[in-house]
Amino acid sequence: MGASSRPVRSPSGPTPATRADALAQVHRIAEAVDHAWHTAHSSDRPEIPLSVVAALALRTPADADERAWVAAQLTDADDAGLLGFLRATWQLYAHTRPDLTPRIAPLAMPWFTTPPPDRQLLRAVRRIVQAALRAGLHELLAVARDDVDLFGPLLEVLRTPGARTAHSQFYSPPDLADLLAACLGTPQPGESVLEPAAGTGGLLRAAAQTIRERGGDPAQVRWVAVDTDKLALAALAINVIIWRLGPHVLIAHGDALADDWQARAVGERAEAITLARDVQRAASALDLFRRLDRTDGDRP
Ligand SMILES: C[S@@+](CC[C@H](N)C(=O)[O-])C[C@H]1O[C@@H](n2cnc3c(N)ncnc32)[C@H](O)[C@@H]1O
């Protein structure tokens, strides 16, 4: 998407002035999205609102005019436009981070089903987009992306109390995470940070902020995270981009206590990268053969 010069009508939200404001705004966004989802749709599918908020977050431009333009485009979009936005976002993710793509499957796949998502679901998507933008998702990320975990509080409100208990889903408050990270020292370039019960990654965020505050670059550290909760790991794979954790990230699905999770995750990551490369090669070869096909000579 690119910015246009025409005046825009966009649902801009509040800009947090302090860190406490930013943390409170995360909860307001979560509640607004939860309300929009449950009043527009009767199913219990937390991956749907999570996916919509993740797509909005991934596609938040740095420039204020562009943010206003994107918000206006999304507000005016019809069903096909919204579906196109979601599909393009997940295609872009797969293209840029094939290593993490298996992790975002729960968020991406709902938009590529046969038959495609119905009108009721897309109406719910529209309500979620409007609620998140009005609650200030763009403004929050513009000023405080490194300070907040959008998805921990969102998953907490979206899941039923029973599901929360089943997933041991009670995340560390950000201030406590910051304190823990400050006590643990500063990881150096090439060193690994391991989170054996990662959830959506709140402790990794705090560690990355500590590294930045001490003059380092989180992208030079190796991040290793494991959890049994696939949806939390999908959110973590989005946070990796929001928090700019860099290219050396291993996100494993498995039991940190019982599994050979690390070796398995390294194998899965290598396979995903190879598959993505093979698909790209096959797509260009197919395009070449299609163009050279003598039975199809008139096609431009
Ligand atoms: C209390 S949350 C803490 C998340 C994060 N560390 C934080 O401080 O915000 C616990 C997380 O541990 C995960 N978990 C529980 N048992 C686990 C196990 N055996 N292996 C991997 N993850 C586990 C749960 O799925 C949940 O996401």
Backbone angles phi, psi at 279, to 5 degrees: -65, -40
C-alpha span between 123 and 117 (Å, rounded): 10
What tens digit of pLDDT does each residue of 188-207 get? 999 999 999 999 999 999 99
**Taking a C-beta distance cutoff of 8 angstroms, is the pair 37, 98 a contact?**
no
CB 155 within 8 A of CB 161: no
Residue 161 has pLDDT above 50, yes or no: yes
DSSP 76-87: H--HHHHHHHHH
The tokens describing 243, both together, are: 């928090």
Please choose, from the candidates 227, 231, 225, 234, the residue with its C-alpha nearest in 3D space to the C-alpha of residue 205: 225
Stretch 131-140: mean pLDDT, rounded?
97
Copy the structure tokens of residue 264.
Answer: 């398995």
Distance CA 107, CA 52 (A): 8
Q: How far apart are CA 225 and CA 147, in angstroms?
A: 19
Cα 22 to ligand 1 centre (Å): 24
Which of 5-9, 100-104, 284-288 is predicted most confidently?
Answer: 100-104
Contacts of 164 (CB under 8 A, 6+ apart): 156, 170
Which residue ranges have their beta carbon within 6 Å of ligand 1?
Answer: 167-172, 197-199, 202-203, 226-229, 232, 255-257
In this structure, the chain runs to a length of 300
Q: What atom of ligand 1 comes closest to residue 170's alpha carbon?
A: 1
Write the CA distances from 93 to 5, 103, 219, integer angstroms.
Answer: 28, 11, 18
d(CA 171, CA 156): 9
User: What is the model's pLDDT at position 298?
Assistant: 60
- How far apart are the C-alpha atoms of 69 and 79, rounded to whole Å? 18
Range in 96-105, 160-169, 214-223 the model is least confident about: 160-169
Locate the ligand 1 atom nearest the alpha carbon of residue 255 and give its number. 20
**Lookup: tokens for 41:** 């749709």
Residue keyed to tokens 């993490």? 100
For the chain, domain boundaries: 19-253, 261-296
